[in-house]
């Protein structure tokens, strides 16, 4: 099993999305967060089974919600580094702009 590190911007993605979902329906943000945690646990057990999408960045779709977790795998340190949690409908330019920060 790999260690998981969620970068601050990814934590903010999760927090702001959960807040948005809670405005739509009470408790939905908590459900979103739970699904993200489940997917992160899956990633940490099986990172090699997930397809690389951009250069060395892999993505995994959150079950039930239309969001993708973006991460890289540091094989040497057995670490998953989560850099973003984006809505699948968001423009790829958001990822490109963020990658340059």
Residues 6+ apart with CB under 8 A from 21: 28, 29, 31, 32
Check residue 93 and give its pLDDT: 58
What is the tens place of the pLDDT at every residue in 18-75? 999 999 999 999 999 999 999 999 999 989 889 898 888 999 999 999 999 999 999 9
pTM: 0.85
User: Distance of alpha carbon 9 from its chain centroid, rounded?
Assistant: 10
- In order of their start, the domains of the chain are 3-99 (3.30.2310.20)
H or E element in which residue 54 lies: strand 52-54
What is the tens place of the pLDDT at every residue in 76-88? 999 999 999 999 8
Strand order across the beta sheet in which 52-54 lies:
3-6, 79-87, 67-74, 57-61, 52-54
């Amino acid at each position: 099993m790999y260690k998981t590190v969620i970068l601050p911007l990814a934590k903010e993605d999760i927090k702001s999305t959960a807040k948005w979902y809670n405005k739509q329906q009470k408790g939905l943000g908590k459900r979103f967060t739970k699904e993200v945690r489940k997917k992160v646990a899956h990633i940490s057990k099986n990172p090699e089974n997930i397809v690389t999408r951009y250069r060395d960045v892999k993505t995994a779709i959150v079950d039930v919600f239309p969001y993708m977790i973006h991460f890289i795998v540091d094989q040497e340190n057995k670490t998953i580094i989560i850099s973003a949690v984006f809505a699948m409908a968001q423009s790829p330019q958001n990822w490109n702009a963020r990658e340059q920060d």
